[in-house]
């Protein structure tokens, strides 16, 4: 089993992504509203942070963090669907995708 995480910066693609995943048999996951560290620091009144504001500018106000618990056989397919639906995960301001091997999973029927 593997946990697949996607920090989605292109939140306008969320619905398309969920539909594509569902159409390909990936029907369970969790979505969390998230905000990056840079955006959090940008709102800080700290002098040092304020002086570095030009370097901290980030057009995204918010992100969505999605995670799925998948059989290892389904991970490659999910990665492909995510990449295609988002127009290339490696493009700037698209998102970050990573997976973590799981030692066990309780509470799910997989």
Look at residues 73, 7, 66, 11 and name the one whose alpha carbon lies nearest to residue 38. Answer: 7
- Domain 2-35+62-101 class, CATH top level: alpha beta
pLDDT tens profile 37-74: 765 665 556 656 555 555 555 555 689 999 999 999 99
Query: Positive or negative CA dihedral for 103, 29, 60, 96?
Result: positive
Q: What is the pTM of this model?
A: 0.81
Q: What is the pLDDT of residue 20?
A: 98
> DSSP strand E in 30-73: where?
30-34, 63-70
pLDDT exceeds cutoff 90 at 6? yes
Q: What is the pLDDT of residue 107?
A: 93
Q: What is the pLDDT of residue 4?
A: 98
pLDDT exceeds cutoff 90 at 86? yes
């Amino acid at each position: 089993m593997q946990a697949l995480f996607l920090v989605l910066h292109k939140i306008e693609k969320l619905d398309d992504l969920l539909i594509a995943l569902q159409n390909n048999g990936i029907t369970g996951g969790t979505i969390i509203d998230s905000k990056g560290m840079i955006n959090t620091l940008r709102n800080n009144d700290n002098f040092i942070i304020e002086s570095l504001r030009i370097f901290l500018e980030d057009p995204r106000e918010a992100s969505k963090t999605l995670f799925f618990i998948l059989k290892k056989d389904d991970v490659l397919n999910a990665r492909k669907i995510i990449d295609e639906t988002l127009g290339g995960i490696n493009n700037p301001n698209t998102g970050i995708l990573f997976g973590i091997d799981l030692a066990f999973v309780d509470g799910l029927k997989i």
